[in-house]
Chains A and B, each alone.
Chain A
Amino acid sequence: MSRPKGPSHNKVGARSVSAPDPAPLDDEPLYSGLNDRDLAAVVHASGHVSWTAFPDGTGDQLASWQAYTGQTRSETQRDGWLSAIDPTDRTRVAEAMALAAAMKQLCELEFRLCRSDGASRTVRFRAVPKLNAGGSVDKWYCFCVDITGMPDSREFPSPPMPVTNAGSSILQAVLDTLPIGLYVSDGNGKLLHRNAMAARIWGEQSPRVDVIDQYPVYTGWWLDSGKAVSAREWALARALETGESVVDDQVSIESFDGERKSIGISATPIRDVDGTIVAGVVVIEDITDRIRLQNALGQTTLEASARLSQLEAIFEGISDGLLVCDAEGIALHVNAAYRRLMGVPDDDSKLVRHPEARARLFFPRDSRGNLLPPDRRPVARILRGETLTEANTSDYMVRTADGREILLSASGAPVRDAHNAIIGAVAIFRDVTERRTLERQTGGALSALLTIAESLVTQDTERDEGDIDPTTAGRRMAERIAHLARSVLGCQVVVLATCDAQLELTPLAGSWNVRSAPKDWWIADGNRQVVAAISEPAVIDRLHSGTVVALDLPASLKDFDATPSARRCILVAPMRIGQSFVGVMVIEHGTVPHTYSTSERMLTGAIANLTGLLIERARLRREQARAEARELALRETNRRMNEFLGIAGHELRTPLTSISAGIQLAERRVKRALDEAAGSGAGEAVQITFAADILGRVLQQTRRLDRLISDLLDVSRIQADRLELRISPRDLVPLVKDVVHDQRQLEPTRVVKLSISDAEAIRVMADGDRIVQVVTNYLTNALKYSEIDAEVDVRVETQGSDALVFVTDRGPGLAPEEMEHIWERFYRAPSVEVQSGSGVGLGLGLHISATIIARHGGKVGVESAKGRGSTFWFSLPLIP
C-alpha cells in the first residue's frame, strides 16, 4: 500500500463494481516497499502472514511473520518460530509439522499465535510442501490467517480466479481472499479501496465516501450503548485524527443489503517516511455470530463449569469412556475409563485435547478401513446437533495410543445452553470388539439354522417332484444338515444318529473330513467308543434332560491319525421330540485340542433339536402316507361294501318280491272266487276260505322275511359305519301316528292306545323313514312280547328340549341284567318268550334302533321290572 505508481492492473474490478479503485502497485515484491512499521500495521490489520521455510526448519521471506509476531529473524530459525505459538498448542503444531514432513503432505491446522502486542490470536495455518524432481521436499510455503472470533470459518476461501499478473492484481487477489473486510483510505479519510469481504459485510451497494463528514451514510450503533455512531466516532476517523490504532470497536450496523449485523472494527493510520499520515487501513469482521453466542452464553458458561466440576466425580466412576468437549471439539474432560480404553497415559490428557490430535492419534476408520472424514467423526456429529445412539451410529475402528486395534461404539449428545445453542458435547465410547465378534458368530449360526429350516421347504419340493419315498428324502435332508453343521461349526466330524431303547446308535447321516476321520472308522470303532461313553448313566441322564455333553475320550486308533496320548474332543447333543430321546448329534474336532464354547454348545444343541424335529417330521410324513393309503383302502372297502349291501338287498328281495306279489295275487283271486262262490255250495266256500287262510299266513312270513333282510342289511351298514341318514325338519306326531295306524291295520285284533301330549307339531331334525323304523320296532316288540289281549300304549310328549316317545307293554318285563344287554347286537333276553305272533327274530332290532337314535343325537332307554311289563323310550332333540 505504498504510493500510487503507474496504471491500475485491476483484474477483479468486475467483482467490485461500486468499489473505490484499488491502490495501484508497481511490480515490487509484496512487502518490499513498506517500512517495518507500515508492514507491521498492514500485517496486524490483515491478520495475514506468509513465509517460506526449508526442510531443515530454516525460515525465509519472514518479513510478515516477524512483523506479526515481533520475533527477530534469528529467533525464528530452527524451532524458534514455535515459541511464538501458545505453549499449549506448541507440541501439537510441532507434531503436525513433523507428520506432514514425513508424509510430504499438506499440513493444515489451527493454533493460537502470540501477536507482537501480546494478544493471543487464533490462526489457521497452512503449510504446502514443494517437491523436487526426486520427490523430496524442497521448500515449504507457509501461510497463516487470523481467524479469531470466526467460529464458522472452517474453510479457507478459495482464490476467486487464477492469479496470473504480478503487482496490484496479486495484492488485490490476496486481499480478496482474506476472510476479513479491508478498507484503505487516504490521509483525509477518502475511501480508496475495499476488498471482497468488506463488500460482503457492508453490501455490494455500499457507497464511496470522499470525506469523513459523509461517513454517516454508513449506519451504525455502538454495541454497548446502542447510540448511533457519529461521523467522527468511526474507527478510521479516530485513527486518522489521533494517529493511534483503534482496536476492536464493536458496532451494530445496518448493511446496504438491509441486514443487521455486528462488526468488529480496527483501524490503523499509515505514515510516510516523514511521519505524515498518508493513509488509513480499516479492518472489519463480521462478529454477528460471536456476539450472539456471547449473549447466549453469558451466565450459562459459569453455571456449566460449576456443573461440570460436580459431574466430574461421577464421570470418573463411569465404566464407559467419556469425553466432554466444548463447541470446538476441544476436550475439556476425559474420564479414567476413556484413558484406559484409548490407551492414553493418565498424566497426558493433552494428547487427546484437540480433535485433530485425536484423529491423528487414533486413526478412526470405518468398517472398510477408510479414514473417517472429519465430519463423520462422532464428536463432530454431536456438535452438529445429532444425538448418537447405538442404533444410528456405526461402529468404527480405532488404534489406541498403546497400539491395540479396537472396535468402538460411540454415543452421546450435544450440551446446550438455556437458549438451546450447542456449547459442547458429551461423547461416550465403548469397546464393542468382543461383543461384535460374538454377534457375528451368532449371526452365522442363525443363518445356518435358517438354511436348515429352509431345507424343510426344499425337501417338500423334492418330494413333490417325484421322490415318493419319504425315507430317502429324510436321509438326504439329514445328510445336508450334517454338512451344514460341519461347515458352521468348523469341526472334523458331524454324525446324526438315531437311537433306540437299547441305546443302539444307527448313523442316519454324517459329514466327515475324510483325512482326519474316515467314515468307515467312525462307523466301526468311533461309534462304539461314543456309544460306550454315552451309555454311562450320568451321561445318559444329562442327554435325556436335554443337556449337550462334552466328552473327552482317548483316541486309540491308528486310522485316526493320532498319537497315543491324543484325545478325542467330542460334543454330544441329544435329539429329543417332546420328552423322548430319539437320537444324538455327535460333533468331533478330531485330536486337535478343542474347548467347546458356550455358543458352540448352544448351536449344536439347536441344530440337534431341529434335526430331531425334521426326523420326526419325516416319520410323520411316512405315517401320513400310510394313513392316506389306509384311508383310500377304507374308502374303497366302504364303497364296495355299500354296493354289496345294495346288491345283496336287491338280490334277496327280488325272489321275496315275486313270492309276496304271487301270494297277494293268489289272495285276490281267492277272494274273488270266494265272492263268486258265495252263492254256490258251502263246502267249496270252506275250501276256498281255508286256502285264503294259508295264503295269509304265508304272506305274514314273507313280511317277516323282509324285515329280517332289512335288519341284516342295516346291521351290516352300522358295522361298516355306512348307515346314512337323510335328515330334514320333521313333525314327530304324524310319523308316530302312521306307525300306529299301520300296526292297527296289520293286527286289527290288538289294542294300541296312542296319546300325544301336545296338540301342536313336535319338530325334530330326523330321517323320517328311520324314525318310523324305530317306532315300528318298539311297537312290534311290544305286541310280540305281550299277551294277545294285552293292550300296548304309545305316548308322545316333550320334556324340556327333548321330544320323547314311550311304548309300554304289559308283558313279562325284564330282569336288571337283561336290561343292561338289551341294546346289544344279537342279544335276546333269555327269559322272554314270544307271547303272540310268530318268530324269534335275530336280536338286531333294538341294536339298530339304538344306533339310529344315537346318530340323531338322541337317547334310548327301557324301564322294566319282572312281571310288570316294559316301557321302551327314545328321545330326540327338539328344533329350538
Chain B
Amino acid sequence: MQACVVEDDAAIRQTLRAILELEGYDVLEASEGSAALEILRATEGPLVVLLDLLMPGMDGITLLQTVAADPELTESRAFIVVTAAPQMLTPPMTGLLNSMSIPIVVKPFDIDVLLDTVFRKAKALQVPG
C-alpha cells in the first residue's frame, strides 16, 4: 500500500514517513500542493494521502478543490487532513471535507489515532468497487 505525506514541515514529514514505513507503507513525499498534484497524477494504484492545510505554494484546500473537480484524481485515492489549526476551517471548507468523506486528525496527533485512521482509509481503498 502506498501513502503520500503532503507537509511543508520537514521534521513532521520525516517522522510521518518513519511511522508509516514502520507499518509497511511505501511513502511518497510532497512539501506543497502542486507537487502533491504531480504525484497524484503520476502514481498508479491505491494511495492514502495525509494532507496538511497550511502550506506555502498551493495549500491543502486548493489541492482538494482541484481534486474534487477531477474524477480521475479521486479514483483510488483517500485523503486525510492533518492540521494544527482546525479552528481556521471555514464552514465551506468543512463542507468540502464532509462531501469527500475526509477525516481530520489534529496535530499534535496520537500515533495510534493517526494510524487507525490511515488503516481504515487504506482498507476502504482495497475493497473492490
A residues lining the B interface (CB < 8 Å): 642-643, 645-647, 649-650, 652-662, 664-665, 668-669, 702, 706, 713, 724
**Contact string, B1-25, partner A, CB cutoff 8 A, digits 1/0?**
0000000010110011011001000
Given known pairs A649-B85, A665-B15, A724-B87, the reply for A657 and B107 (CB within 8 Å) is yes
Q: Are A664 and B11 in contact (CB under 8 A)?
A: no
Among B35-43, B73-81, B108-116, B118-126, the stretch that binds chain A is: B108-116
Q: How far is the CA of A653 from the CA of B108 in the complex (A)?
A: 6
| A650 CB contacts on chain B under 8 angstroms | 54, 83-85, 88
Q: List 19 A-B contacts (CB under 8 A).
A: A645-B87, A646-B85, A646-B88, A649-B84, A653-B107, A655-B11, A656-B107, A656-B108, A657-B9, A657-B109, A658-B9, A664-B111, A665-B15, A665-B18, A665-B22, A665-B111, A668-B22, A713-B87, A724-B87
* Chain A min CB distance to B115 (Å): 10
Whether B85 contacts A647 by the Cβ 8 Å rule is yes
Closest chain A residue to B16 by CB distance?
A: A661
With known contacts A655-B11, A665-B18, A668-B22, A660–B85 Cβ distance under 8 A = no
Chain A residues whose C-beta falls within 8 Å of the C-beta of B16 in the assembled complex: 661
- Do A660 and B9 touch across chains, with their CB atoms under 8 A apart? no
Bound CA span A643–B90, Å: 12
A662 CA to B18 CA, complexed, in Å: 9
As a 0/1 sequence over residues 43 to 77 of chain B, the CB contacts with chain A under 8 angstroms (1 = contact) are: 00000000000100000000000000000000000
Given contacts A654-B12, A655-B11, A668-B22, contact A661 B108 (CB under 8 A): yes
Please name the residue on chain B nearest to A652 by beta carbon: B84
Q: By CB atoms of chain B within 10 A, which of A646, A656, A662, A713 has the most?
A: A646
CB-defined contacts of B108 to chain A, threshold 8 Å:
653, 656-657, 659-661, 702, 706
Whether B111 and A654, one on each chain, are in contact in the complex, defined by CB atoms closer than 8 angstroms, is no
Q: In the complex, what residue of chain A is closest to B18 when comparing beta carbons?
A: A665
- B53, closest chain A residue (CB): A650
Residues of A within 8 A of B9 (CB): 654, 657-658
Contact A662 B84 (CB under 8 A): no
CB pair B54–A658 under 8 Å, yes or no, is no
- Closest Cβ of chain A to B111, distance in Å, is 4
A661 and B85 in contact, given A647-B54, A702-B108 (Cβ under 8 angstroms): no
Q: How far is the CB of A715 from chain B (nearest CB, A)?
A: 14
Given contacts A647-B85, A660-B109, A668-B111, 4 further A-B contacts (CB under 8 A): A653-B107, A654-B107, A661-B19, A662-B11
> How distant is B65 from chain A, measured CB to nearest CB, in Å?
19
Closest partner residue, chain A, to B11 (CB atom): A658
**What's the tally of chain B residues with a CB closer than 8 Å to chain A?**
19
Beyond A646-B88, A650-B84, A653-B84, whether A658 also contacts B15 by CB under 8 A is yes
A residues within 8 A CB of B22?
665, 668-669
Give the distance to chain A from B50, nearest Cβ to Cβ, in Å.
12
- Contacting pair B15 A661 (CB below 8 A): yes
**Contact B18 A657, beta carbon cutoff 8 Å:** no
Q: Give chain A residues whose Cβ lies under 8 Å from the Cβ of B111.
A: 661, 664-665, 668
Shortest Cβ distance from residue B99 to the other chain A in the assembled complex, whole angstroms: 17
Interfacial chain B residues near A654, Cβ < 8 Å: 9, 12, 84, 107
Enumerate chain B residues within 8 angstroms of A713, measured Cβ to Cβ: 87
Closest A-chain residue to B13, C-beta based?
Answer: A658
A646 to B107, CA, bound (A): 13
Q: Which residues of A contact B15 (CB under 8 A)?
A: 658, 661-662, 665
What's the Cα separation between A664 and B18 when bound, in Å? 11
10 nearest A-B pairs in the assembled complex, by CB-CB distance: A653-B84, A658-B11, A660-B108, A646-B88, A657-B107, A664-B111, A661-B15, A657-B108, A650-B85, A650-B84
What are the residues of chain B within 8 A of A706 when measuring CB–CB?
A: 108
B12: A residues at CB distance < 8 A: 654, 657-658, 661
What distance in Å separates the Cβ of B72 from its nearest Cβ neighbour in chain A?
Answer: 31
Question: In the complex, what distance in Å separates the CA atom of A562 from the CA atom of B15?
Answer: 100
Bound CA span A660–B9, Å: 14
Point out the residues of chain A lying under 8 angstroms from B19, CB to CB: 661, 664-665, 668
A146 to chain B, nearest CB (A): 104
CB distance from B83 to the nearest CB of A (A): 8
Q: How far is the CA of A634 from the CA of B16 in the complex (A)?
A: 40
Residues of chain A within 8 A of B54, CB atoms compared: 646-647, 650
